């Protein structure tokens, strides 16, 4: 950190320099850590996780979604002006992803899981994975304006439209298709298509985003109970009892603000309802979101992952951008909680992934998958709050 003490003062609305502090943490520690120890200089590709002392776990298989998330993260850092070398790192990550994960079996799309040597372990085509590949490509194209990247976006969109669409709306879980249907792949495809529109300015992409917004309104969101469901039947009818992940409710607040930005469609009512509902699932001691509850507001899982805390910060940032009174202070408090509980790790630039209800860490390694969440929250806070 650079002369900013973010542990000595209580969390509160007066905490005005938290964004600057977390930006410094990202630039000085997280980005160098994950571009150094987090990159496999010998075999190529990003490391799936670091051990508790910050050393690369080179034996761990590599999820394609994590490769894509890391590409996104470094492209976004370069785009923000935080880490100019992020562009080259992101392009190297893309070269690895295309060489190892795209159609190694001759079939279209990206495989699901790679070995440390780049071999295919699981060849399923997972919709969640493809959403993150689209997000990575779109962010990198917005940064680079590279013709090859644009061609990859167009090829991927054709695969998604032809092979992954469901006749019941939205997208199937993957190839082969599985049950139950989940809102999570739909949410991340929504995110990726917004990013694709930002990169390409193609009105057809607005329509594709609009289709998923219609699915959200018609099926994913329960207006009576004001909760977002997680699991559904093939026709998008709800599976009872409804599982609620407050982190996803918060994430949709931010995404709906993005949808409003690119389409002009008002989303304030849904954003307010989702945010108020997410806040029901908080830990009284830390103020952090729990991992899961039910539709009545009861807690099902008293564990606390890192990523929901980034999403509640982004939700408040989105509300601040929309002009909601007090939202900027709430966003700063959420970021301070994120730092206090998760980012104060012995490995500078790392994080704790999950705690139990008594505050004991449940994960003994540092997962690369959280980098996307942490970086995006800080980037959005700097963009809106300064």
- Note down pLDDT in tens along the chain; length 386 residues: 223 333 333 445 446 799 999 999 999 999 999 999 999 999 999 999 999 999 999 999 999 999 999 999 999 999 999 999 999 999 999 999 999 999 999 999 999 999 999 999 999 999 999 999 999 999 999 999 999 999 999 999 999 999 999 999 999 999 999 999 999 999 999 999 999 999 999 999 999 999 999 999 999 999 999 999 999 999 999 999 999 999 999 999 999 999 999 999 999 999 999 999 999 999 999 999 999 999 999 999 999 999 999 999 999 999 999 999 999 999 999 999 999 999 999 999 999 999 999 999 999 999 999 999 999 999 999 999 99
Instruction: Judge if the upstream peptide bond of residue 150 is cis by omega within 30 degrees of 0.
Output: no
52 touches 362 (CB < 8 A): no
Bridge partners, residue 354, by sequence: 305
Closest among 102, 273, 245, 261 to 184, alpha carbons compared: 245
DSSP 8-class letter at 361: B
Six token digits for residue 265: 């469609």
- The number of C-alpha atoms within 13 Å of 307 and in the hemisphere containing its C-beta is 16
Burial class (CB in 10 A: 0-12, 13-18, 19+), 130: buried
The highest-level CATH class for domain 19-385 is: mainly alpha
DSSP 8-class letter at 30: I
pTM of the model: 0.96
Cα distances (Å, whole numbers) of residue 331 to 16, 20, 176, 323: 10, 13, 40, 13
Q: What 3-state class would DSSP assign to 238? A: strand
Residue 209's CB is within 10 A of a number of other CB atoms, namely 23
Question: Residue 165: enclosing H or E segment and its boundaries?
Answer: none
């Amino acid at each position: 950190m650079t002369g900013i003490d973010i542990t000595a003062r209580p969390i509160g609305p007066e905490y005005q320099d938290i964004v600057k502090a977390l930006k410094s943490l990202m630039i000085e520690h997280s980005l160098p850590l994950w571009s150094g120890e987090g990159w496999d200089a010998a075999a190529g590709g990003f490391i799936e996780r670091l051990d508790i002392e910050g050393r690369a776990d080179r034996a761990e298989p590599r999820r394609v979604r994590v490769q894509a998330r890391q590409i996104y993260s470094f492209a976004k850092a370069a785009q923000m002006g935080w880490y100019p070398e992020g562009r080259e790192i992101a392009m190297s990550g893309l070269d690895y992803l295309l060489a190892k994960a795209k159609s190694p079996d001759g079939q279209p799309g990206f495989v699901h899981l790679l070995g440390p040597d780049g071999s295919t372990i699981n060849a399923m085509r997972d919709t969640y994975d493809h959403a993150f590949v689209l997000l990575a490509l779109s962010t990198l194209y917005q940064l680079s304006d590279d013709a090859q990247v644009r061609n990859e976006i167009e090829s991927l969109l054709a695969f998604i439209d032809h092979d992954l669409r469901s006749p019941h709306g939205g997208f199937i879980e993957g190839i082969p298709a599985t049950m139950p249907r989940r809102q999570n792949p739909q949410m991340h495809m929504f995110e990726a298509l917004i990013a694709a529109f930002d990169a390409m300015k193609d009105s057809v992409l607005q329509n594709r985003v609009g289709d998923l917004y219609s699915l959200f309104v018609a099926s994913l969101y329960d207006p009576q109970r004001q909760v977002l469901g997680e699991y559904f039947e093939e026709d998008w009818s709800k599976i009872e009892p409804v599982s609620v992940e407050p982190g996803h409710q918060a994430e949709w607040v931010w995404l709906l603000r993005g949808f409003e930005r690119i389409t002009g469609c008002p989303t304030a009512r849904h954003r307010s309802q989702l945010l108020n509902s997410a806040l029901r699932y908080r830990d009284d001691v830390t103020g952090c979101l729990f991992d899961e509850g039910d539709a009545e507001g009861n807690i099902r899982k008293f564990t606390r992952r890192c990523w929901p805390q980034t999403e509640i910060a982004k939700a408040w940032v989105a509300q601040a951008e929309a002009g909601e009174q007090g939202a900027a202070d709430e966003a700063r408090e959420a970021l301070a909680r994120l730092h206090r509980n998760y980012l104060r790790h012995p490995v500078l630039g790392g994080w704790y992934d999950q705690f139990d209800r008594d505050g004991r860490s449940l994960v003994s390694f540092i997962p690369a998958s959280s980098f996307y969440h942490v970086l995006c929250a800080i980037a959005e806070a700097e963009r809106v709050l300064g």
